[in-house]
Structure formats: C-alpha cells, structure tokens
C-alpha cells in the first residue's frame, strides 16, 4: 500500500498534469490497466489508451486546477478540487470530489469523479 506522502504526491502530480499536461501525460499518472469512471455511475474507461482518449478534449483549452480539500485513508485519496477550463468566450468551472486508489508505485489504479451538471458553473 502506498504511503500517505506517496498518495499526496500522486494527487498533486495528477492535478498538475490536468492543468498543464498533454492527454498522454495525464494518462501516465495512471497504472496501465487503470479505470476512470467520470462521472461516477458512467461506463468506465479502462487502460491508458482509453484514458488518454478521454482526456484529449482538454488539450484544446487553457486549464487551471486547485486542490481544495484532500483526505487520505486506507490507501485511497478523496479530494475536492477546482478544474477551470478557459475557452475563447467562456470559462467553465467544475469542483468535483474524486476518489482514487493507487498501486505501490503511486500510480492511480482507479478514479471515480463525483459531480453532476448542477455542479458546473459557466461564466
């Protein structure tokens, strides 16, 4: 089981990749056979290729992320954060709470993102 420090570092690496990385750099935060369920309840994306595909629309936009609250227990992280996506004519803010599990190297093995349409702010 990864240590709390490893998990914290893995969450910060992920948020930095979502803010400034390519889709494949974001996918590299995940273990090869990881799953991404975003939003929770939707069909999971499985494996790095599918995960990179899922994140690829982000590449067209300027992005910011900000960690708001992080809790670590039982080898998992749950964290509330802001993702701001800046498009030419609008800014889209979402503040999900994500649940992530990790392998012993600190790679994400599963992610479930809890948010819904009512949590999206467009300005």
* Residue 28 DSSP label: T
Q: Which of 114, 78, 84, 110 is nearest to 96 (CA)?
A: 114
Q: Tell which one of 76, 82, 92, 107 touches a copy of itself (CB under 8 A).
A: 76
Q: In the chain, at which residue ranges do the beta strands (DSSP E only) sit?
A: 30-37, 45-46, 62-73, 76-86, 91-94, 97-102, 108-114, 120-122
Residue 88 binds a copy of itself, judged by CB under 8 A:
no
When binding is defined by CB under 8 A, the residue of 66, 71, 86, 121 that contacts a copy of itself is 71
The pattern of x and - marking residues 97 through 116 that bind a copy of itself according to CB under 8 A reads x-x------------xxxxx
Query: Count of alpha carbons within 13 Å of 3, Cβ hemisphere only?
Result: 3
Residues in Cβ contact with 9 at an 8 Å cutoff, skipping those fewer than 6 apart:
106
User: Under rule CB under 8 A, which residues in 5-34 are in contact with a copy of itself?
Assistant: none
Comparing CB distances to a copy of itself, the nearer of 4 and 20 is 4
Binding map of a copy of itself across residues 29-48, x = CB under 8 A, - = no contact: --------x-xxxx------
Q: How far is the CB of 14 from a copy of itself (least distance, A)?
A: 17
Q: What residues act catalytically?
A: 14, 38
């Amino acid at each position: 089981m990864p240590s709390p420090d490893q998990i914290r570092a893995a969450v910060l690496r992920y948020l930095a990749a979502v803010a400034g990385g390519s889709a494949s750099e974001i996918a590299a935060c995940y273990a090869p056979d990881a799953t991404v369920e975003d939003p929770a309840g939707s069909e999971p994306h499985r494996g790095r290729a599918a995960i990179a595909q899922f994140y690829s629309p982000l590449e067209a936009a300027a992005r910011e992320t900000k960690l708001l609250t992080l809790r670590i227990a039982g080898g998992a992280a749950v964290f509330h954060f802001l993702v701001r996506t800046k498009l030419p004519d609008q800014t889209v803010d979402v503040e999900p709470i994500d649940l992530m599990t990790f392998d012993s190297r600190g790679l994400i093995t599963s992610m479930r993102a809890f948010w819904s349409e009512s949590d999206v702010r467009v300005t």
